[in-house]
């Protein structure tokens, strides 16, 4: 599974950073992003760890504006 935050869509509500706190955080711009080593650019290429997949799916489904893209 791969996932990333669409910065142009995120409104910075913070929900994903609570649900998948090992993957997402609020950046200096007030918008969500993947934490290192899963920076937004790198996360497009990296596999989500098995133990984080459910949290990432929950975060994507909970995002009020659909800013988290998940590829199975
Ligand atoms: Fe942004 Fe969606 Fe995360 Fe809220 S849940 S911070 S809108 S990506």
Beta bridge partners of 24: 34
pLDDT of residue 2: 83
The CA 10 to ligand 1 mean position distance, Å, reads 5
Summarize pLDDT for 4-63 with one digit per residue, the tens: 899 999 999 999 999 999 999 999 999 998 886 666 676 666 788 999 999 999 999 999
pLDDT of residue 46: 76
Question: Which residue's CA is minimally distant from atom 1 of ligand 1?
Answer: 10
- Please say if the pLDDT value at position 69 is more than 80: yes
Counting from 1 in the atom list of ligand 1, the atom nearest the Cα of 59 is 5
Summarize pLDDT for 7-18 with one digit per residue, the tens: 999 999 999 999
User: Residue 5 contacts by C-beta under 8 Å, 6 or more apart in sequence?
Assistant: 16, 24, 31, 32, 33, 34, 40, 67, 68, 69
């Amino acid at each position: 599974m791969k996932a990333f935050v669409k910065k142009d869509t995120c409104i910075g509500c913070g929900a994903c950073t609570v649900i998948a706190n090992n993957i997402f955080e609020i950046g200096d711009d007030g918008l969500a992003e993947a934490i290192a080593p899963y920076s937004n650019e790198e996360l497009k290429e990296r596999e989500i760890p098995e133990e984080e997949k459910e949290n990432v799916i929950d975060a994507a489904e909970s995002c009020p504006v659909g800013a988290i893209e998940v590829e199975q």
